[in-house]
Amino acid sequence: MSLEKISKETAFALENAISANFSKDERNKISQILKTALIKSVEQTTKTHQEATVICCGPEADLAHKIAEEMSLANKALIANLTAMR
């Protein structure tokens, strides 16, 4: 499921949870806030995973760096896709 779909569904869920009727502009702003939060979460998770990979594969540092690089490339692709949604 895309982050855009998740953020829109969450915005609608918030609207229903607080019994409010958001305007389209308000819903878009909420979706953007959610996307930004998701991006930050993905970036932090990726950084943590990369650090763990390097630590656990100490003797095989080359392998750890290759894994970390692949994770970094996937993260950059995700961020590019999210940026394109704006």
Is pLDDT of 84 > 80? no
pTM: predicted TM-score of the whole model, two decimal places: 0.55
Domain, as residue range, for 25: 3-85
Structure confidence by residue, pLDDT tens digits, 23-74: 888 888 888 888 888 888 888 888 887 777 777 766 666 777 777 788 888 8
CA distance 12 to 66: 40
Q: Does residue 25 or residue 79 have the better pLDDT?
A: 25
Which burial class, exposed, middle or buried, applies to 6 when counting CB atoms under 10 A from its CB (0-12, 13-18, 19+)? middle
Residue 50, CA distances (Å) to 31, 36, 75 in order: 28, 21, 11
Residue 32, CA distances (Å) to 3, 14, 72 in order: 10, 14, 23
Is pLDDT of 86 > 80? no
When divided into structural domains, the chain yields a total of 1
| Residue 1's pLDDT band (cuts 50, 70, 90) | low
CA distance 48 to 12: 31
